Structure 1
Amino acid sequence: MKLKERGAGASDARAPRPRPVRKKRVGQALAPLLWLGPAIVLIAVVVLWPVVEMVRTSLLKISSSGVTLGSAGTDNYSDLFAEEDLVPTVVRTLIWVVAVVIVTQVLSLALGQLLNARFPGQRVVRWAVIVPWAASVLMTALIWKWMLDNYSGVVNRLLLDLGLIDKPVNWLANPDQAMIWMMWVAIFVSLPFTSFVILAGLKTIPDDVYEAARVDGAGTFRTYFQITLPLLRPSILIGSIINVINVFNSFPIIWAMTGGGPGHATETTTTFMYKLAFSSQNVGESAAMAVVNFILILVMVLLYMRASRWREEVR
Structure 2
Amino acid sequence: MTTTPTDAAARPSPSPDSRPGRQRPGDRPRRPAREVLAALPWIGPSLALIIAIVLFPAGYMAYNSTREISSSGIDRGSVGLANYATIFDIPALPRVLANTVVWVVVVVVLTVVISLALANLLDKQFPGRQLVRLAVIVPWAASVVMTTTVVYYGLQPNYGIINQLLADVGILEVADYGFTRNAVPAFVVSILVAVFVSLPFTTYTLLAGMQSIPGDVVEAARMDGATKARTYFAVILPQLKPALAVAAIINIINVFNSLPILRIMTGSIPGYDADTTTTLIFKLIQSDRRVDLASALSVVNFVIVIAVIALYMRIVKPMKGVDE
Q: Are 1:279 and 2:287 an aligned pair?
A: yes
What are the ranges of 5 or more consecutive residues in structure 2 without an aligned counterpart? 1-30
> What letter matches 2:310 in structure 1?
L
**What residue in structure 2 maps to residue 101 of structure 1?**
108
Q: In structure 2, how many angstroms separate the alpha carbons of the residues matched to 1:28 and 1:146?
A: 58
Asked if the contact 1:213/1:223 (under 8 Å) is kept, the reply is yes
Deviation at 1:81, TM superposition (A): 1.3
Alignment partner of 2:317: what SS? helix
Residue 125 (structure 2) aligned to one of 103, 118, 129: 118
Report the CA distance shift for 1:217/1:150 in structure 2 as closer, same or farther (over 3 A).
same
Q: Are 1:135 and 2:142 an aligned pair?
A: yes
Deviation at 1:55, TM superposition (A): 0.1
Asked if the contact 1:147/1:155 (under 8 Å) is kept, the reply is yes
**What residue in structure 2 maps to residue 162 of structure 1?**
169
> What letter matches 2:131 in structure 1?
V
Alignment partner of 1:69: what SS? strand
**What residue in structure 2 maps to residue 229 of structure 1?**
237
**What residue in structure 1 maps to residue 205 of structure 2?**
197
**What residue in structure 1 maps to residue 85 of structure 2?**
78
Q: In structure 1, how many angstroms separate the alpha carbons of the residues matched to 2:127 and 2:48?
A: 47
TM-score (norm. length: structure 2): 0.84
Asked if the contact 2:183/2:266 (under 8 Å) is kept, the reply is no
Asked if the contact 1:261/1:267 (under 8 Å) is kept, the reply is no
Q: Are 1:55 and 2:62 an aligned pair?
A: yes
Q: In structure 2, how many angstroms separate the alpha carbons of the residues matched to 1:81 and 1:175?
A: 23
Residue 52 (structure 2) aligned to one of 28, 45, 51: 45
TM-score (norm. length: structure 1): 0.87
Q: Alignment length, in residue pairs? A: 290
Deviation >6 Å, runs of 4+: none
The alignment yields a C-alpha RMSD, in angstroms, of: 1.9
Per-residue CA deviation, residues 211-266 of structure 1 (Å, 9 max, x unaligned), is 11121111110010011111111010000000000000111101111117242110
**What residue in structure 1 maps to residue 184 of structure 2?**
176
Q: In structure 2, how many angstroms separate the alpha carbons of the residues matched to 1:57 and 1:200?
A: 42
**What residue in structure 2 maps to residue 215 of structure 1?**
223
Alignment partner of 1:263: what SS? coil
Deviation at 1:306, TM superposition (A): 1.0
> What letter matches 2:297 in structure 1?
M
Asked if the contact 1:260/1:268 (under 8 Å) is kept, the reply is no
**What residue in structure 2 maps to residue 20 of structure 1?**
none
More helix by share: 1
Asked if the contact 2:245/2:318 (under 8 Å) is kept, the reply is no
> What letter matches 2:96 in structure 1?
T
> What letter matches 2:52 in structure 1?
V
**What residue in structure 1 maps to residue 9 of structure 2?**
none
What are the ranges of 5 or more consecutive residues in structure 1 without an aligned counterpart? 1-23
Identity %: 44
Asked if the contact 1:59/1:284 (under 8 Å) is kept, the reply is yes
> What letter matches 1:281 in structure 2?
R
Q: In structure 2, how many angstroms separate the alpha carbons of the residues matched to 1:159 and 1:41?
A: 52
